[in-house]
Structure formats: C-alpha cells, structure tokens
Amino acid sequence: MTDQTPQKKQPGHWWHWAVLSILGLVVFFVPLPVRATAPTDRIIHINASRFEYDPAILKVNQGDRVTIELVATDVVHGLAIDGYNLETTTDPGKTARLTFVANQAGTFRFRCTVTCGNMHPFMTGKLEVGQNSLLWRAVAFSGLVMIAAVWMGRK
C-alpha cells in the first residue's frame, strides 16, 4: 500500500518558526563589525573611455574626503554617483574634479552622464564606501533560507 495519507501538522513546529524569526531579526538588525579608521583625504584618478572607467571599482572608508579626477580619453564623458547626487562632465583630454565626503556607507553605482556611444547607458562603475552590509545581510539571509528549507523539509 502506498503512503497516501494526508500529512498532519505536527504540534511543536511553532518553535522552529520562532527560532527562524529570531535569527532573521538578528541578521536584519545586528550591526556588522566595522574596522575603525580615521577619515583621510583620497585622490582617485579615473580615465574614462568609451563604456569603461579605469579604475571601475573605487574603495574608500566611510568619512573619507574623496576627490575624483576624471579624465576623458576619447570623447566627452560624465560621472554621476547614485545616492550621492553628484555629477560632473569632462571634455577629451581635460580633467574634471569632484570632491565629496563619503558619509554614506554601502555600494553605489556611478554612471556616465553624456551620451558617448551605443553602450553609454551601461557605462558604470562602483564606489564601495566601507562595508557593503546589504550584500552581507543578503548572503546571511540566503543561508538562513537554505537552513530553514532543510530543517522544514526533513522527514
């Protein structure tokens, strides 16, 4: 005879959910360890050519005073940083400077603001200010989802 009887809800499973909920809250709210560093002045030189920033990934600490020197090597390019409301443009061979205090932690995309060719809308770079806590929390949540699935799915 095959096992066709409907599964009954087993009493006591509520505490599984309670534990998972608490772990979820921990992942969501607990502050991540941050290495204390004194804010410094940083000057970052970026070459912008068609569809590419070099370097494309910038790493600074929260609180740093950052100056970006943007040089366009072929056509006119721009640079705007998501979340920081900053923007500049530069002509070929010229240097544009953008100075700001990196007071918001996280990872922010920066994008070209001047149409420079077909792939212009996708000409992006990445500014990493301190720790990318969203990514680490998301990774932790993924692990939690996996653990929950294994836990709930065991027979």
Contact positions vs another protein (CB under 8 A): 2-3, 7, 49-54, 56-57, 82-83, 85, 106-109, 111, 115, 118-126, 132, 134-135, 138-139, 141-143, 145-146, 149-150, 152-155
Gap between the Cα atoms of 114 and 77, Å rounded: 5
The residue among 45 and 109 lying less far from another protein, judged by its C-beta, is 109
Cβ 70 to another protein shortest distance, Å = 14
The residue among 25 and 40 lying less far from another protein, judged by its C-beta, is 25
The residue among 28 and 40 lying less far from another protein, judged by its C-beta, is 28
Q: Can you point out the beta strands (E) in the chain?
A: 41-49, 52-54, 57-60, 65-72, 77-81, 86-90, 95-101, 106-111, 124-129
The residue among 40 and 143 lying less far from another protein, judged by its C-beta, is 143
Gap between the Cα atoms of 118 and 100, Å rounded: 30
Cβ 67 to another protein shortest distance, Å = 20
Cβ 26 to another protein shortest distance, Å = 16
Judge whether 86 and 67 are in contact, CB under 8 Å: no
The DSSP string of 65-78 is EEEEEEEESSS-EE
